[in-house]
Amino acid sequence: MKIIERLEIIRDLKLNVDFKEIHPNRMKQLSRLGSRYEPHSFRRFRDDKRYALLVAFLYELAQRLTDFAVEIHDKQINILLSKGRRQQEEIHKQNAKLLNEKIIHYVDIGTALIKSRNEGLNPFDTIETVMSWNKVIESVEDAKKLTRPQNYDYLDLLYSKYHHLRKYTPALVKHLKFSSTNSSMNSTIKALSIIHAANEEGKKKIPDDAPLDFIPKRWEKYIHDKDGSINRNYYEMAVYTELKNRIRSGDIAVEGSRNYRNFDEYLLPVNEWKAEVGKLAVNACYDDYLQERIRSLNDRLQWLSENIDQLDSIDLSDGKIHVERLHNETPEEAEQLSERLYGLLPHVKLTDLLLEVSGWTGFDKHFIHASTGGIVQNKEKPIVMAALMAMGTNIGLSKMADSTPGISYHQMANVVQWRMYDDAMKRAQACLVNYQHRQSLPARWGDGTTSSSDGMRIQVGVSSLEAERNPHYGLNKGTTIYRFVSDQFSTFYTKVINTNARDAVHVIDGLLYHETELCIDEHFTDTSGYTDQVFALSHLLGFRFAPRIRDIADAKLYVISKTTDYEGVANILQGKINTNIIRDNYDDVLRLACSIREGRVPGSLMMSKLGSYARQNSLATALREMGRIEKTIFILDYISDETLRRRIQRGLNKGEAMNAMAKSIFFGKRGEFMEREMQDQLQRASALNILINAICVWNTVYLQKAIDYLKETEKDFDENLLKHISPLGWEHINFLGEYSFDIKNIPKHNEFRPLNVKQIP
């Protein structure tokens, strides 16, 4: 209700500004800038600047509020259904003993009836030998009370919970405008209008001619009362549940929303995307595209069919893919060399490390003041580093101010507000990544063309709309830092995502929007990082997608031509690609890829929408079919090439090692986020990654010094071992600062420190 109230205040301003000609990312920049100013700051601006910033901020705010309202409704419906399930489970637990007793009665009666039939006895007399007739009647009456619906649904238990929805649903249908993107959804929109009219007119009943064709079957038997009239409680619950599902599936759009608009509004106009299609990695002609993919798939199938007997670590005999686990290829000598190299590194405080890396790279110069455009001056550098450490270690600005004499909380807060915004953090991070990339030692670890991504879950210690529970991580709510790591051990992109969201949704964002000099060609993820649609979009955008699939034995492979052409591997080819759906939607798929590539819409938003769309959605289905081609090609390469498997394993191991370092650095507040907004959580995560990259840069430089020293002093130094060394050691770095034990500052016996009394005027 508070969100609706704020939204109506913005609407009452009647801004009526057309933003179609302004790029969405530019609008976000202006909005973020406007959000940082206090009201008094706007008074000193010229009218054009003042109103431009205010309008951009309010426009973005209205979209966020609309999305929040929809997401809260989504959560409330999920909570409603969850309560019904839990109540049914509780009933089952409470009645377990009685249910078991009735089953025993049923077995006894059934046994007696069978005996009477087999032996020609009177059934009633036989039953009374095991149970008196009064006991039978009593047992049947008790059983009636214990029965649940035949389909064991829990919807009948939701009736009493209707009043919870009524606390906000009248405002939902009154202040949010819904429209159908699918003609079959018109009935749902009409039902919402009928409910709104009943609310406004104070009517208690729903008209008998209200639409019912969109109501799912599980709700149908609850919709009508015994007299045939529509039960308002169940009707509204069914409508609001279906509204939630249809918004998620894209069949219903929400006016003024960013995340729930009509799908076509996210894409480049038809007259623009065709000019950009040449930048994609596939041919714009469908026939040429299909022929090229058929050749690629058939060549691999033919090779594998002819060489399967020569692959010792692969077994396809039972119609499933079995791949032997890779053994560790890191020699013991490499581990010994790593210990010797890190033993040569000087011990350093994190504060000194940051200042030293700043001197080499100038990464702090990218924290440009959002309002004045001024760069960080030398006298401000300690304040910037203190603020960066406060957020990156998660100890907070207050504790950092207590630990750094001469630097106040307000100084750091000012830096955080005006210098450490999204774009500045990305530029500083890119500066460190680029510096690392230009060093000679990282070339031993990789050429900067491959990367991996993995999530690190962080518990959230405050109430937050974005925080969710995940049974895999325990009962506490949390969120996930999704981090992209290059083969040179640099963290080049990070996001904070919903902990229950599939990682795959966000893969494309990191590959496209990292703003570093790295040219990523190949990307690795674990099982949660892939879907068929990610395979397709990665291929369209020119990336080789290579996930480590946990249950590869159950993976389904697809062909375009006949499976009988490949006798050696025909038993693992279980599906056929639907080329017709690809042909019919090929232009739409290319338009989608162009829109994402040009930054018109984030890849994560489109992937999440396509992932929640109904199976019959043609665009989502076409993208899935294209992805199945790419997944099949990848799996064929995976089982044919041990080098590829090792490359994937090494890439993912680097990401896991990076997470271990991140957890050691992010030690403040028990490693929990204490910020409610995802934007503030992202700021903390970005600061953490800047610290990680600074440490990697420092380690890389000093490891090179240590390597040069060993080369001079040892004749048998083996440079081939350097590819197994990493810059992720931190034992020599002091994260915690120093503690001073000065007896002179301690009060004498019977003396005490003065209380911190503030005089009240």
Give tens-digit pLDDT for 240-298: 999 998 888 888 999 999 889 888 888 888 888 888 899 999 999 999 999 999 999 98
Q: Please report the sign of the dihedral spanned by the C-alpha atoms of residue 411, residue 414, residue 419, residue 421.
A: positive
Name the pLDDT band for 637 (thresholds 50, 70, 90). Answer: very high
- Check residue 440 and give its pLDDT: 95
Question: pLDDT tens digits for 414-450?
Answer: 999 999 998 999 999 999 999 999 999 999 999 999 9
How far CA 263 is from CA of 592, 597, 615, 642, 673, in Å, comes to 10, 17, 16, 42, 33
Res 635 pLDDT > 80: yes
d(CA 557, CA 631): 8
Task: Look at residue 598 and give its three-state secondary structure.
Answer: coil
Lowest mean pLDDT among 135-144, 147-156, 499-508: 147-156
Alpha helices in 439-541 (DSSP H): 507-512, 532-541
The whole-chain average pLDDT of the chain stands at 89
As to burial, measured by CB atoms within 10 angstroms (0-12 exposed, 13-18 middle, 19+ buried), residue 622 is buried
d(CA 435, CA 442): 10
Domain ranges of the chain: 2-88+156-261, 95-147, 272-310+504-640, 334-424+701-734
Percentage, residues of the chain above pLDDT 90: 54
Res 658 pLDDT > 80: yes
Are the C-beta atoms of 616 and 298 separated by less than 8 Å? no
- Check residue 150 and give its pLDDT: 62
- Check residue 473 and give its pLDDT: 67
Q: Which two tokens stand for residue 205?
A: 């009943």
- Check residue 385 and give its pLDDT: 96
Are the C-beta atoms of 442 and 449 separated by less than 8 Å? no
Are the C-beta atoms of 62 and 11 separated by less than 8 Å? yes
Name the pLDDT band for 28 (thresholds 50, 70, 90). Answer: confident
Phi-psi region of 501 (alpha: psi -120 to 50; beta: other; left: phi over 0): beta
Res 149 pLDDT > 70: no
d(CA 352, CA 389): 12
Q: Which two tokens stand for residue 468?
A: 């969710």
More confident residue, 743 or 634: 634
Question: pLDDT tens digits for 546-569?
Answer: 999 888 888 888 988 776 667 777
- Check residue 41 and give its pLDDT: 80
How far CA 543 is from CA of 281, 510, 601, 608, in Å, comes to 9, 12, 19, 20
Of the candidates 640, 4, 73, the one whose C-alpha atom is nearest the C-alpha of residue 303 is: 640
319-320-325 Cα angle (round to 5):
145
Q: Structure pTM?
A: 0.85
Query: Which residues contact residue 65 at a Cβ distance below 8 angstroms, ignoring those fewer than 6 apart?
Result: 3, 6, 7, 10
d(CA 224, CA 687): 57
Res 475 pLDDT > 90: no
Question: pLDDT tens digits for 68-116?
Answer: 999 999 999 998 988 888 888 888 888 888 888 888 888 888 888 898 8
Of the candidates 646, 647, 569, the one whose C-alpha atom is nearest the C-alpha of residue 315 is: 569
d(CA 323, CA 301): 17
Question: pLDDT tens digits for 572-594?
Answer: 888 899 999 999 999 999 999 99
d(CA 469, CA 472): 9
d(CA 131, CA 125): 10
More confident residue, 564 or 67: 67
DSSP code string of 330-393 = --HHHHHHHHHHHHHSPPEEHHHHHHHHHHHH-GGGG---TTT-PPPPGGGHHHHHHHHHHHHT
* Half-sphere exposure in the Cβ direction for 396 (13 Å, CA): 11
Element (H, E) at 238: helix 232-249
Task: Print the SS3 string covering 331-344.
Answer: CHHHHHHHHHHHHH
At position 337, the amino acid (one-letter code) is: L
- Check residue 613 and give its pLDDT: 66
More confident residue, 742 or 176: 176
- Check residue 96 and give its pLDDT: 81
Lowest mean pLDDT among 457-466, 481-490, 506-515, 643-652: 457-466
- Check residue 758 and give its pLDDT: 65
Question: pLDDT tens digits for 679-719?
Answer: 899 999 999 999 999 999 999 999 999 999 999 988 889 99
- Check residue 15 and give its pLDDT: 86
